[in-house]
Structure 1
């Protein structure tokens, strides 16, 4: 029995739904295992159906043994789903309001014989707690990231005096992770040097590395459909007192937040631990993003560590802890680990050293 589908059915019963239409690709993968780009999942009280097209029928049959696979008719995915709904005499049908575009919504509204019920984050809420198999995939994805960081430090040391660029580093990280089992990046790597490192989501460019530069590297990979995420900041040449002050403040904030995480805490309470340390050091105005986010099939999931997060932390959640300080015109620091919430506190999946690495 598919336990994930069964949990979804419990939510359907609570919402008084006869069936639910799942259109988000990550949610489809979570429920069925299907990795193709064109599908809908239709769940009833006793059926689980994946609708796709000719290109993916064989793939879906192999990947989704617990699902009935239906080849879409000339009416397309939605039209085929509605034919199934009619045959099942379903009346109250849920749909994913966050993942349904306006034209599809209008198409649903035209079918007045059904009562379409907008749902919000029904499957996403199930995905917040990772099972043992998911955690193992996340652990392996982060292990590949750790290996990549161990590789990139000597690479930078050997090459930076020869005009090494941010793009060179980003490409080398991606090449290495793919060579060691990743199927791709979990997001486009962020590599930012010098004053550009104050840009939280800088795009790697032709900028070269120079003495006195912070270099922020934020990267991750996908392993069997699950994402990793880590950030480390290094410095080129001997750091100044300002470099050390900023770096050590971020490191202190991160370590304090990691130590504070406990089941039952609100996301905003964990965020506040790191934010207070940075604010007390005089840099509160330069830490403008949340402390972290959940990670799974998607790189950004819920709940989060942020000033507004009221949801509580539960065992089995996987989140990042990534405080930062970003000074325009000077540079920035971010340090990020990915952790699993446990009965005792956390298991840190990121093992790369966090003491400031000086590249000379």
Structure 2
């Protein structure tokens, strides 16, 4: 029998001495079954999977789910999960500690042992298959078309919010179902805010603009950042752009199977520190993307000691942010291959792009 996402999860149950796992993260339910509705839970034992939901989704489940038995609950998802565990003699059951709130956990019967798990399904999601890569690549292509649209239409007098709204709708017209996160358009001195959400600030001639955006395509996300100027910027912006570009390219060359998040972070921060801007780069250098905008592995948090493996898709996003002047970030999406990393996005230019302003 061919290996599937569900069978890989079932094999993992044995390694943790679990009779079953209760999956409550909607993203993980989608990943394992294809179900895109809400108000659901998935109970997976060594041989069987039950998708628990209500009658609103009966027809949707028939279309989307072909590897789990539909169970319609009458008195709540968690009471139903408890009933199933008792009916099928499941005693030691894992649950997703990151997403299961205490009020829901309290509804699970004490007749079973409920074992907290962390990133149990998430680690499976970290290695993308060919179908996932195709969807991520399409999400990147739509996002990049949106960027070209921004460069062609942005002008002094527009607000950051107007640019963001126009970009968001442009990507929807190309097939995106939404944005990966709230689109960041930070101009002028505000570009020194790494996550400066778009505001009513008017973009002026000479402003540097940091654009951090992405879209969702059939559930999978893209995540890119580009920095450009509208008219001639402060010379310091051009200088730090070159440093960030060098860090971005160096990270891309470093990424490969076995390389840890810490090694990636150390490289990017080391290069920027040597250039004299270390105090102005305070965040991680990248993260995994897929069905979620932040997933493993990457150069951040708990993944710093984790080595990359072929099939990971990660961002590469060094930056420098000068208070009162402006900031630069360049972010790409890359696929870890057997021998290194493949750039999935179009690389940024080596020099700061400048949108010419018509007098």
Q: Matched residue of 1:107: which SS?
A: coil
Aligned twin of 1:286: 280
Aligned twin of 2:146: 148
1:117 paired to 2:111: no
Q: Deviations over 1:74-127 (max 9, x none)?
A: x2111111111111011111111111111122222xx22111111111100111
1:179 paired to 2:166: no
Q: Matched residue of 1:140: which SS?
A: helix
Q: 5 Å matches for 1:165-204?
A: 165-204=159-198
Q: Matched residue of 1:99: which SS?
A: coil
Aligned twin of 2:102: 102
Whole-angstrom distance in 1 between the partners of 2:237 and 2:81: 58
Aligned twin of 1:247: 241
Whole-angstrom distance in 2 between the partners of 1:337 and 1:213: 23
Aligned twin of 2:353: 357
Give the C-alpha shift of residue 211 in structure 1. 2.3
Q: 5 Å matches for 1:312-323?
A: 312-323=307-318
Aligned twin of 1:17: 18
Give the length in aligned residue pairs. Answer: 353
Which is worse superposed, 138-147 or 350-359?
350-359
CA contact (8 A) 2:192 2:325 kept: yes
Whole-angstrom distance in 1 between the partners of 2:125 and 2:104: 25
1:208 paired to 2:209: no
Q: Matched residue of 2:106: which SS?
A: helix
Give the C-alpha shift of residue 2 in structure 1. 6.2
Deviating above 6 A after TM superposition, structure 1's stretches of 4 or more consecutive aligned residues are: none
Give the C-alpha shift of residue 344 in structure 1. 2.7
Q: TM-score, normalised by structure 1?
A: 0.95
CA contact (8 A) 1:220 1:228 kept: yes
CA contact (8 A) 2:11 2:46 kept: no
Whole-angstrom distance in 1 between the partners of 2:88 and 2:260: 42
Give the C-alpha shift of residue 307 in structure 1. 7.6
Whole-angstrom distance in 1 between the partners of 2:91 and 2:41: 18
Aligned twin of 1:328: 323
CA contact (8 A) 1:271 1:307 kept: no
CA contact (8 A) 1:229 1:320 kept: yes
Q: Matched residue of 2:306: which SS?
A: coil
Q: Matched residue of 2:98: which SS?
A: helix
Q: TM-score, normalised by structure 2?
A: 0.96
Higher helix share: 1
Q: Which runs of 5+ in 2 are unaligned?
A: none
Whole-angstrom distance in 1 between the partners of 2:245 and 2:217: 28
Whole-angstrom distance in 2 between the partners of 1:341 and 1:352: 16
Whole-angstrom distance in 2 between the partners of 1:307 and 1:281: 25
